[in-house]
Structure 1
Amino acid sequence: MNVVVVGAGPAGLAAAGAALAAGAEVTLVDATTQLGGQFWRHMPDARPAAAESALHHRWSRFTTLRDRLERHPRCRIRTGAQVWALDHVDGRPRLQLAIGAVDGPDRTMEILVPDALVLATGAHDLTLPFPGWDLPGVVTGGAAQALAKAERVAIGRRVVVAGAGPFLLPVAASLAATGATVLSVHEAAGRRQLAAGWAGALPVLPAMAGKLGELAGYARGQLRGRIPYRVGSGVIAAHGDDRVEAVTIARLDAQWRPVPGTQRTVEADALAVSHGFTPRLELALAAGCRLDAGRFVAVDADQRTSAPGVLAAGEVTGIGGADAALAEGAVAGWIAAGGAAHDPRVARARAAVRRYRRFARALAAAHGPRPGWRDGLTDDTIVCRCEEVPYGRLRATATATRTQSLRSLRLTTRAGLGPCQARICGRVVEELLARSTGAILDDAVSDWRPIVTPLRFGELARTPETIPTKGEST
């Protein structure tokens, strides 16, 4: 049995390890040059941290997973490998890889045709636009944390953290650890939303001591650093000429609308903002995987998707954190390698998956965006940062053309056609189109990218090397 795992974060590492334990030949593919994903993003080998374990939760778990994979004779690791296309051939998934530096002229091309594929591609930040969010110095929470973890660089000296979700706490902690002054953390969800959402997690919280301990650790760090944490509050505008110089903060009502008369302006030279996460769906959609109502990859109890031979694990199936990703990855890798679903060796992981799925639903209810955020937009507010498309143009074009097609609106306004290919603005543009026209979008146009990453024409022309599975020849 030959298994390919795409993504080397917690879910991918766990999947690769479980597939090896079930006896499979495993190829682990990741676009970055180091294993660990965003959760275990660490300093480059050329500039290692003096005590890297102090910078990460469960660092020993990572090193155990990594070392086992690197030493295992049936595991092949391909880092710096971009999966740029995915389809099926003879009922098996086929992956097209470009291997090497993204901006390098000499990338090599490979084709993998495994017996089973595990997608552990993770997610990226969802940021809801507001006036001034396109200023230099406004970054996503994930970008702020990545710079802090991988480069020990703070995005500014005086930083405000805002958005929604528990992720704001580790972002603030990472910034403080790099020497930045975190002025405050603002959670958009109010007390009632938080209480109602988290109530759904109460039955499973006693079994999640690690998650509670992690949360308590962040809370202690907030107190030690005297960093205010405000719920029902958010940044509604950023101000400055060449970069952020100040932000306007206001109380938010239950629908996340700014409460009149509560605005105050705070001087800051950077803003880290994240309102949750959007799954990376390009490969899942190319494989033909069905999505659930929340626009995550739909999986069964064994992490199987609707596509033959394709399984999924981690944040691409729902936002539940690293522990959930580890459990889902363990189940997915085991099943992908032909392991029995009810084998005692995966019983604990399967039980953990059930708990964390309930936890993920509670997380979404407690911190999920409310529609009132749109009321803070002005006609001049940029909704697509790459192409500098303002909200007024988007709305006026939708009204004038009477379009109910996201594709048509994107082609007319250029929203989502820039370098990020709608990864940042796609979901927002969809929601604003639906609000303006009443359109009901029944597809995932923003997430559908047949060519997942940019390629040179010369790279397309190269003859790829087909890597044989066990017992086959090229």
Structure 2
Amino acid sequence: MSRQVVIVGAGPAGLAAAEHALRAGARVTVLDQADTPGGQYHRMPPEAYQARNSGRAGFERRRRLLAHPRCRWWPGSTVWAFGSAENRVHVLRGQSDGTGRRRLTLVPDALILATGAHDRTLPFPGWELPGVYTAGAAQALAKGERVAIGKRVLVAGAGPFLLPVAESLLGVGAEVVAVLEANPFPTVRKGWSARPWRLAAHPGKAGELARYAVTLARHRVPYRLGRVVIEARGAGKVREVVTAGVRADWSLVPGTERVYEVDAVCVGHGFVPRPELAVAAGCVLDGGFVRVDGEQRTTVDGVFAAGEITGIGGAGTAAAEGAVAGCAAAGGRPSRALLRTRDRALAFAERLAAAHPIGPDWPGWLRADTIVCRCEETTYGELTRAARDPACPGPHALKLGTRAGLGPCQGRMCGVSVAELCGGAERHHRPIAQPIRLGELASRPEGEPE
């Protein structure tokens, strides 16, 4: 009898896992909170634009995959808890802000977590102003809705993701005044030039980089290395941003400030994994990422993980990990070719991390009144005072004392920054991993006996 595999997440990792689990003969259920598959990377524009969208062929391929007779596609599904026995998966189906969501329970033979990551944005004075966006949000609006976040936009942060964001903004008519990479040229060069012969295994990346370079050149968008946004200014809305040069450790270079007049700015400093469900399942983390073995197994029997929750590496790495996880979860043995592809992708991810790190001295651009936790309006000064207070021993007491990370986003925006600023980090096990109404919690799951 074929194995039942449940996959949480329909991004590159989840879709690759579904494809290879189906090839291995498994019955597959794919869950995602979104209404369409693909995740952030494969986000599609509205139906009116799809006919002229270059990703249409990929959309059709995903549609055929999820229409496979052994595959169930459950959009609008939220996994809110795991049972301790048999890896029982508790699901709510329906719009998260709607009523009448269905509560269901699945007991698969194997579970694959492919929940991805979200933007990391380091705080700076004025980042709470309207008009300051994460890079991912700016791209989501451009790709998914054909909406530009502003007429004059500055793109800044760290990592190659800034390039497709700028391309997306240009594609919907925005003027991108500049793209600023925080890491100086020597850091970027050292990361990408180490063992250059290994880059031959990734010819597509060079072509992608060349396309971005041509796009920026055609629109006369300057690309600057070693510069960061240190302040956003405006009365009720961002009107200008202050940038400055930084050293390799991201300490500010005095006298290098420059002001840009903009009506929007998007900032992204890489990505933060979303391991909440993995933590709820009892999986062990390493440095915030889910620990996996050579076949993407976590430390919990029957639970696999793939994609950005095991390490930030981009869509290619996520898909390669998903392929291995899907095959192994279905009871198959991943081929050497799959494992080689995954290992090459992981090597590329390590190179990316080396070329675009987060400098340790970024707190140098903060002021005492800079808001770090936007939900609770906790400032940098309040955090540092609490961290020195013997009455707040440890990060848990510090969070309770300052409310940092306890607002509606539950630390998704500020959690990593708060941990770095105050020393140490904790991932608490939460029996309820996602919001659920009391009425939904009290209701009996479908299919469960009276």
**Residue in structure 1 matched with residue 340 of structure 2 by the alignment:** 351
* Alignment map for 1:39-78 (pairs within 5 Å): 39-45=41-47, 47-53=48-54, 56=55, 60-70=57-67, 72-78=68-74
Matched, 1:340 2:344: no
Q: Distance in 2 between matches of 1:348 and 1:178?
A: 40
**Residue in structure 2 matched with residue 281 of structure 1 by the alignment:** 275
Conservation of the 8 A alpha-carbon contact between 2:37 and 2:62: no
Q: How much does 1:450 deviate?
A: 3.2
Matched, 1:460 2:441: yes
Matched, 1:374 2:374: no
Corresponding residue pairs, total: 448
Q: How much does 1:201 deviate?
A: 5.9
**Residue in structure 2 matched with residue 149 of structure 1 by the alignment:** 143
Q: Distance in 2 between matches of 1:214 and 1:451?
A: 41
**Residue in structure 2 matched with residue 12 of structure 1 by the alignment:** 14
Q: Distance in 2 between matches of 1:61 and 1:306?
A: 34
Conservation of the 8 A alpha-carbon contact between 2:156 and 2:179: yes
Conservation of the 8 A alpha-carbon contact between 1:88 and 1:94: yes
Q: How much does 1:37 deviate?
A: 0.4
Q: Distance in 1 between matches of 2:297 and 2:436?
A: 30
- 1:402-457, CA deviations, whole angstroms, 9 ceiling, x for partnerless residues? 533211111111111111000010011111111xxxxx44x424xx5432222211
The partner residue of 2:266 within 272, 283, 295 is 272
The partner residue of 1:21 within 17, 23, 35 is 23
* Alignment map for 1:141-290 (pairs within 5 Å): 141-200=135-194, 202-290=196-284
Q: Normalising to structure 1: TM-score of the pair?
A: 0.91
Cα 1:358–1:200 shift into 2, 3 Å: farther
Give the 3-state SS of the residue equivalent to 2:389 in structure 1.
helix
Conservation of the 8 A alpha-carbon contact between 1:201 and 1:359: no
Cα 1:86–1:152 shift into 2, 3 Å: same
Q: Distance in 2 between matches of 1:48 and 1:462?
A: 41
The partner residue of 1:431 within 420, 424, 427 is 420
The partner residue of 1:444 within 424, 427, 433 is 427
Give the 3-state SS of the residue equivalent to 1:260 in structure 2.
coil
Q: Distance in 1 between matches of 2:126 and 2:64?
A: 45
Conservation of the 8 A alpha-carbon contact between 1:379 and 1:390: yes
Q: Distance in 2 between matches of 1:27 and 1:265?
A: 51
Matched, 1:326 2:319: yes
Matched, 1:312 2:299: no
Q: Distance in 2 between matches of 1:301 and 1:63?
A: 31
- 1:190-248, CA deviations, whole angstroms, 9 ceiling, x for partnerless residues? 11211222234624210111222112211111111111100111111100110100000
Q: Normalising to structure 2: TM-score of the pair?
A: 0.96
Where has structure 1 moved over 6 Å in runs of 4 or more? Answer: none
Q: Distance in 2 between matches of 1:112 and 1:48?
A: 37
Conservation of the 8 A alpha-carbon contact between 2:392 and 2:401: no
Matched, 1:411 2:404: no
Q: What fraction of aligned residue pairs are identical, expressed as a percent? A: 54
Q: Distance in 2 between matches of 1:184 and 1:402?
A: 46
Conservation of the 8 A alpha-carbon contact between 1:148 and 1:178: yes
Give the 3-state SS of the residue equivalent to 1:32 in structure 2.
coil
Q: Distance in 2 between matches of 1:62 and 1:210?
A: 20
The partner residue of 1:137 within 113, 131, 136 is 131
* Alignment map for 1:98-113 (pairs within 5 Å): 98-113=92-107
Q: Distance in 2 between matches of 1:78 and 1:404?
A: 44
Conservation of the 8 A alpha-carbon contact between 2:18 and 2:30: yes
Cα 1:201–1:135 shift into 2, 3 Å: farther
Give the 3-state SS of the residue equivalent to 2:130 in structure 1.
coil
Q: Distance in 2 between matches of 1:3 and 1:42?
A: 26
Conservation of the 8 A alpha-carbon contact between 1:201 and 1:362: no
- 1:111-133, CA deviations, whole angstroms, 9 ceiling, x for partnerless residues? 11100011111000111101111
Q: Distance in 2 between matches of 1:219 and 1:383?
A: 34
Q: How much does 1:466 deviate?
A: 4.1
Cα 1:95–1:44 shift into 2, 3 Å: farther
Give the 3-state SS of the residue equivalent to 2:285 in structure 1.
coil
Q: Distance in 1 between matches of 2:63 and 2:336?
A: 23
Cα 1:86–1:48 shift into 2, 3 Å: farther
Q: How much does 1:286 deviate?
A: 1.2
Cα 1:200–1:299 shift into 2, 3 Å: farther
Cα 1:201–1:352 shift into 2, 3 Å: farther
- 1:287-313, CA deviations, whole angstroms, 9 ceiling, x for partnerless residues? 122222x32112121111111101111
- 1:143-181, CA deviations, whole angstroms, 9 ceiling, x for partnerless residues? 000111111111111000000000000110111111110
Q: Distance in 2 between matches of 1:319 and 1:93?
A: 26
The partner residue of 1:80 within 70, 76, 79 is 76
Q: How much does 1:398 deviate?
A: 2.2
**Residue in structure 2 matched with residue 437 of structure 1 by the alignment:** none
Unmatched tracts of structure 1, length 5 or more: 435-439, 468-472
Unmatched tracts of structure 2, length 5 or more: none
Q: Distance in 1 between matches of 2:156 and 2:330?
A: 42
Q: Distance in 1 between matches of 2:236 and 2:176?
A: 21
Cα 1:217–1:450 shift into 2, 3 Å: farther
| Paired residue type of 1:65 | R
- Of 381-390 and 296-305, the range deviating more from structure 2: 296-305
Computed over aligned residues only, the root mean square deviation of the Cα atoms, in angstroms, reads: 1.6
Give the 3-state SS of the residue equivalent to 1:205 in structure 2.
helix
Give the 3-state SS of the residue equivalent to 1:160 in structure 2.
strand
| Paired residue type of 1:322 | A
